[in-house]
Structure 1
Amino acid sequence: MPVVFRFFSVFPLWLLHVIGAAMGWVAFAASSTYRRRFMANLARAGYSLGAVHAAVGHAGRMVAELPRLWLGAPLPCRIEGEACVEQAYAAGRGILYLTPHQGCFELSAQAAARRWSAERGPITVLYRPARQAWLAKVMETARNRPGMLAVPTTLAGVRQMIKALRRGEAVGLLPDQVPPAGQGHWAPFFGRDAYTMTLAVRLAQQTGAAIVLARCERLPWGRGFVTHFEPLAQPLSDQLEVAVLQINQAMEHLIRQCPEQYLWGYARYKQPRAEALPAEGASA
């Protein structure tokens, strides 16, 4: 498989996207479980397949572009919203970048690292190591790029993130990722309770870091990407439950800006075995 990754890493982006779009539709047609989850998540957010049918192909594009993203030449990415990042750094605080499973979400960290790491220090990103040894090695090598430091989802990794924020550096998280049991809180996400990580809130509250929302949009015909940065709409609450809900609402806000590039097939409402569903109406 590493050889296959190397092979596809030299393909032009437009060709990878053509291949990926086909893969997305094949997966959608072949897996009834994936298709049902995709459709249910769309409906819950108020969308029809006809309105955002492009999301099927974009899910495949996300997979197909990984070899180029991890092992190939840097992908072109324009940045919009630099001012809010500059303001956060000027305030002398660390930055907590939050992005959902949307577009080329990994590239948002790479783009920020290329733009600010030389002056402001590296970006520390949290990732879940793959179970397959070959893929774990590829991910570790690919994500530790110049200006970036990838740390695993362990206590040691979280400590590294806290230290980075206290040094005034930046860290990156995907707060719509389902956390392990005991590390989350039930909060509404598109109208349904979802087990949501508390890590983003705790990092911000413990370090005083500024929260910057990020989404990396895939441009048509392989022309590259544009990463959008914006501040959190309201100051983060001191109450954990309220703050977790704020983060979910911020992710909804980003997703609705470009719903055709969100991974609607992601199992966002997965229930950890040791976590009971909340009583109806009990969520913040």
Structure 2
Amino acid sequence: MSLLFRLLAYVPLSLLHNLGALLGWLTWLFSPTYRRHLAENLSFAKLTDIKKDAIAEAGKALLELPKIWLRPQAEVINRIAKVSGWDEVEIAATAGRGILFLTPHLGCFEITAQYIAAQKPITVMFRQPKQAWLGPLIAQGRGSNFNLAPADMSGVRRLLKALKQGEAVGMLPDQVPGVGEGVWVPFFGHTAYTMTLAARLAETGATVILTYAERLPYGAGYNLYFLPLSQPLQGDLAHRAAQLNAELEALIRQCPAQYLWGYNRYKVPAGVSRP
């Protein structure tokens, strides 16, 4: 599998996306669990009309990974066709404040950190994959260009240190956290166990910026977007986590077909009780 993954890095992006679309449909066809999660999540968001596109885009997101992780950084960055909102980043950097980039599972979420890393140091939280063979590939693809912080308390300390030093930090805020690391708040109208780490990191005074990379048709590259929060975070921890979920919802609705709707976002982690 590792060799195949490395070989795919040399396949043209347009062909990878075509193969990825096919893979997306095969996954949907042969995985009842995936079909169920996809249907439920789209129903919750009232976006059932985008199901066909969402299935294909999920496959594209998987097969483009070798190209993003294993090709030279300059080549990867050159695939970005347009960047919007980078001035928000420059304003925060000029003020000497840390920057917390929040990237949901939307579009090509791997390329956002690669672009940021080409401009400034960034530390990204990293969780070991379930497939052991993927670990070295991820370490090579991500670790060669930015700092990786493990998904534990030592990693959290690294993130805090980076923000306090005025550096950038990146994370996926829509991942389901473990027991004791989340709160039950709405996400697309249904209660979801939601991480509190992003809201806690914002307490450092860091500027929170939402970002995603829209996948363009026919392997033409990506459009990259950076957006500020619509309003400052306020209230207690649960309220701030709910605010961030609402911000993510609005972001996802800008490019809904490219969100990973098959992700089990509403699962109940082991040891966690439903509200």
Over 3 Å counting, the alpha-carbon distance change for 1:10 and 1:177 in structure 2 is: same
Describe how 1:102-181 pairs up with structure 2 within 5 A: 102-114=106-118, 116-117=119-120, 122-146=121-145, 148-181=146-179
Alignment pair present for 1:270 and 2:267: yes
1:84 paired residue among 85, 88, 91: 88
**What is the distance in 2 between the residues matched to 1:145 and 1:55?**
31
1:281 maps to what in 2?
A: none
User: What CA distance in whole angstroms lies between the structure 1 residues aligned with 2:28 and 2:131?
Assistant: 24
C-alpha displacement at 1:6, in angstroms? 1.4
How many correspondences in the alignment? 270
Aligned-partner residue type, residue 232 of structure 2: P
Query: What does residue 246 of structure 2 align with?
Result: 249
CA distance in 1, matches of 2:157, 2:169: 12
Distance 1:54 1:132 in 2: 27
> What's 2:15 paired with?
15
Displacement of 1:72: 1.8
Point out where structure 2 has 5 or more consecutive residues left out of the alignment.
none
Which blocks of at least 5 consecutive residues in structure 1 are unaligned? 279-284
What's 1:191 paired with?
Answer: 189
RMSD (Å) for aligned C-alpha atoms: 1.1
After TM superposition, list the pairs within 5 Å mapping 1:63-78 onto structure 2: 63-73=62-72, 74-75=75-76, 76-77=79-80, 78=82
Partners of 1:238 and 1:108 lie apart in 2 by 29
Equivalent in the alignment of 2:43:
43
Q: Residues of 1 paired with 2:113 and 2:169: CA distance?
A: 9
Partner of 2:231: 234
CA distance in 2, matches of 1:2, 1:53: 30
Q: Which portions of structure 1, spanning 4 or more consecutive aligned residues, are displaced by more than 4 angstroms?
A: none
Give the Å deviation of 1:150: 1.4
Within 1, Cα distance between the matches of 2:274 and 2:20?
A: 36
> How far has the Cα of 1:15 moved from its partner?
0.6
C-alpha distance in 1, partners of 2:242/2:131?
Answer: 34
SS of corresponding position for 2:133: helix
Q: CA deviation at 1:52?
A: 4.5
Structure 1 residues 15-34: aligned runs within 5 Å: 15-34=15-34
In percent, how many aligned pairs have the same letter? 49
The residue matched to 1:36 in structure 2 has which SS? helix
Whichever residue aligns with residue 20 of structure 1, its letter is G
**Following TM superposition, by how much is the alpha carbon of 1:259 offset from its aligned partner in structure 2, in angstroms?**
0.4
In structure 2, the partner of 1:215 is 212
Matching of residue 259 in structure 1 with residue 242 in structure 2: no
Q: TM-score, normalization: structure 1?
A: 0.92
- Mapped to 2, the partners of 1:132 and 1:64 lie a distance apart of 16
**2:65 aligned with 1:61:** no
Distance 2:42 2:133 in 1: 34
Contact 1:79 1:111 in 2 (8 A): no
Distance in 1 (CA, whole Å) between partners of 2:269 and 2:11 is: 39
Distance 1:262 1:88 in 2: 27
Output the TM-score relative to the length of structure 2.
Answer: 0.95
Render the CA deviation track for 1:182-226: whole Å, top value 9, x for unaligned: 100110000111000000011111x11000000111011001111
> How far apart, in 1, do the equivalents of 2:130 and 2:34 lie?
21
Deviations 1:51-81 (A, max 9, x none): 3421110100011011111112432113111
SS of the equivalent of 2:264 reads: coil
Q: What is the letter of the counterpart of residue 192 of structure 2?
A: A
The corresponding residue for 1:93 is 97
For 1:140 and 1:151, how far apart are their aligned partners in 2?
11
The Cα shift of 1:238 comes to 4.2
